[in-house]
Amino acid sequence: MPRKIKIAILFSGNGSNMQNIIETFHQKKIAHESKEYFFEIKGCVCNQKDAFGITRAKNLGIPCLLLPHQDFADRISFDLALEKEIKKMEVDLVVLAGFMRILSKKFCDSFKIINIHPSLLPKYKGANAIIESFESGDREVGVSVHWVNEELDGGAIILQKSFLRMPEDSLEVFSQKIHALEYEIYPEAIKKAIASL
């Protein structure tokens, strides 16, 4: 019998990584390191009401809860509401996919959480990683998946992949290459992360 793995995905915007994860894993039997897993994406949570990802989740038939952080008095009360909702889903892993919120220590300690970041961490933490990486002049650039703790983009690295940037690449081309690498690395990192749970 494959081991069942239940996942919740949190996002704030476009949701292309969320879509990729749902399409790769939802209700699929997947082997990794000679073990078999059966994945279920239990649901998504979005904190921005105008996020395009909400439409993606709907089209994919995955429940998506809208929890606008603006409706809460402070970070602690938002995180408590989020924690309550995710506990209801009874998941093994929480996957952040462009979720633009720093999470409190209490929340981070309550779940196994992973995040994808569009730079070779510890370089270029924060919300402007693609532009900072593009403008850095670094020849080797890439993407990281890491465990989440209360420190912004600070948890242990699960997987990183890099490529050599072409000097002629525009920001648009550069961003496309980063995103293409994200779609490759996140599913791989999820398998690696669950194997360690």
Question: Which residues contact ligand GRF by CB under 6 A?
Answer: 11, 13-18, 97-98, 116-118, 182
Cα separation of 125 and 153, whole Å? 6
* Closest alpha carbon to 143 in 113, 175, 111: 175
Contacts of 115 (CB under 8 A, 6+ apart): 96, 99, 145, 146, 148, 153, 155
Closest-approach residue to ligand GRF (CB): 98
Q: Catalytic: which of 26, 32, 69, 117?
A: 117
- Three-class secondary structure of residue 119 per DSSP: coil
Closest distance to ligand GRF from the beta carbon of 44 (Å):
11
Q: Tell the smallest beta-carbon distance from residue 98 to ligand GRF (Å).
A: 3
For ligand GRF, the closer CB: 36 or 135: 135
Q: How far is the CB of 97 from ligand GRF (least distance, A)?
A: 5
Sign of CA dihedral 165, 167, 168, 169: positive
Question: Least distance from C-beta 89 to ligand GRF, angstroms?
Answer: 20
Residue closest to 43 by CA, chosen among 60, 20, 68: 60
Nearer to ligand GRF, 55 or 77 (CB): 55
- Strand-pair category, 35-46 with 93-96: unpaired
Check if 146 is active-site.
Answer: no
Instruction: Give the nearer residue to ligand GRF in terms of CB position, either 91 or 116.
Output: 116
Residue of 112, 10, 136, 133 lying closest to 65 (CA atoms): 10
Q: Which is nearer to ligand GRF, 38 or 188 (CB)?
A: 188
Looking at the annotation, which residues are catalytic?
A: 117
